[in-house]
């Protein structure tokens, strides 16, 4: 769902579930000249809070470490951004709500 939304907004998907050490970046994409690292959080309700609230400062640190490693590997030389995509699905897995928070942290 997140990838489809990003592609519909003209993002170029570079990697999915990219891992480095203990960290995983759900989606790495490029929007024009910006390298975007995207954390996706999915829930079936907001009973215990919004999905995007589950991205802790610890998780942000892991994503930053992995992002730095990815940038080293590709010879990064352009702007970066960290986004969160928050998804609420029904019990059967149908999309109920999808929010894309650009520049969500760092």
Are the CB atoms for 47 and 91 separated by under 8 Å? no
Residue 77 is predicted with a pLDDT of: 81
Residue 48 is predicted with a pLDDT of: 87
As beta bridge partners, residue 16 has 27
Residue 18 is predicted with a pLDDT of: 97
Are the CB atoms for 71 and 79 separated by under 8 Å? no
Domain boundaries, the chain: 2-101
CB atoms within 10 A of CB 92: 6
- Tens of pLDDT, residue by residue, the chain (106 residues): 999 999 999 999 999 999 998 899 999 999 999 999 999 999 998 888 999 999 999 999 999 999 999 999 999 888 999 999 999 999 899 999 999 999 998 8
The alpha helices in the chain, defined as continuous H runs, are 2-8, 57-74
CATH 3.40.1350.10 fits 2-101, yes or no: yes
User: Residues of 33-51 as b/e, b for ≥16 C-beta within 10 angstroms?
Assistant: eebbbbbbbbbeeeeeeeb
CA distance 40 to 100: 9
> What pTM did the predictor assign?
0.93
Residues 6+ apart with CB under 8 A from 33: 78, 79
Residue 78 is predicted with a pLDDT of: 85
């Amino acid at each position: 769902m997140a990838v489809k939304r990003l592609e519909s907004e003209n993002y170029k998907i570079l990697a999915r579930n990219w891992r480095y050490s203990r960290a995983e970046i759900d989606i790495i994409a490029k929007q024009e000249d910006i390298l975007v690292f995207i954390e996706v959080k999915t829930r079936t309700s907001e009973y215990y809070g919004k999905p995007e609230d589950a991205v802790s400062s610890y998780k942000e640190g892991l994503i930053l470490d992995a992002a730095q490693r990815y940038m080293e590997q590709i010879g990064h030389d352009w702007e970066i951004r960290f986004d969160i995509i928050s998804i609420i699905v029904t019990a059967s897995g149908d999309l109920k709500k999808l929010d894309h928070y650009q520049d969500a942290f760092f």
